[in-house]
Amino acid sequence: MNFVDEVEIEVTSGKGGDGCVSFRRERHMPKGGPDGGDGGRGASVILRADQQLTTLLDHRYTRHYRAKNGQPGMGKDRFGVSAEDLILRVPVGTLIFDADQDILLGELVNHEGELVVAQGGKGGRGNLHYKSSINQAPRKAEVGQPGQSLRLRMELKLLADVGVVGFPNTGKSTLVSRLSRARPKIADYPFTTLVPTLGMVSLGDHNSFVMADVPGLIEGAHKGAGLGHRFLRHVERCKILVHLVSWEMGEEPDPGQLLKRFDILEREMKLYQTSLADKIRLVAISKLDLPEVRGLVEPVKENLARLGIPVIAISSVNNEGLDDLLRELGKHLKGSDTPT
Every domain of the chain and the residues it spans: 6-156, 162-333
C-alpha 27: how far from chain center: 62
- pLDDT at residue number 4: 82
Nearest in space to 326 (alpha carbons), one of 209, 198, 206: 209
CATH number of 162-333: 3.40.50.300
Q: Which residues of the chain have pLDDT under 70?
A: 1-2, 29-30, 182-195, 206, 216-231, 335-340
| Backbone CA torsion sign across 216, 222, 226, 227 | positive
Q: What's the pTM?
A: 0.73
Superfamily of domain 6-156: GTP1/OBG domain (2.70.210.12)
Give the H or E element holding residue 259: helix 255-272
Neighbour count for residue 178 (Cβ, 10 Å): 17
The whole-angstrom separation of Cα 14 and Cα 70 is 7
- pLDDT at residue number 230: 60
What residues does 240 pair with on adjacent strands? Answer: 162, 280
| Residue range 50-91, pLDDT digits in tens | 988 888 988 988 999 999 999 999 999 999 999 999 999 999
- pLDDT at residue number 194: 54
Nearest 5°: phi and psi at 233?
Answer: -60, -25
The whole-angstrom separation of Cα 282 and Cα 305 is 11
| Residue range 9-56, pLDDT digits in tens | 999 999 999 999 999 887 776 677 899 999 999 999 999 999 888 889
Neighbour count for residue 286 (Cβ, 10 Å): 25
* Contact assessment for residue 34 and residue 138, using Cβ atoms and an 8 Å cutoff: yes
Query: How many Cα atoms are found within 13 Å in the side-chain-facing hemisphere of 245?
Result: 24
Nearest in space to 186 (alpha carbons), one of 129, 177, 153: 177
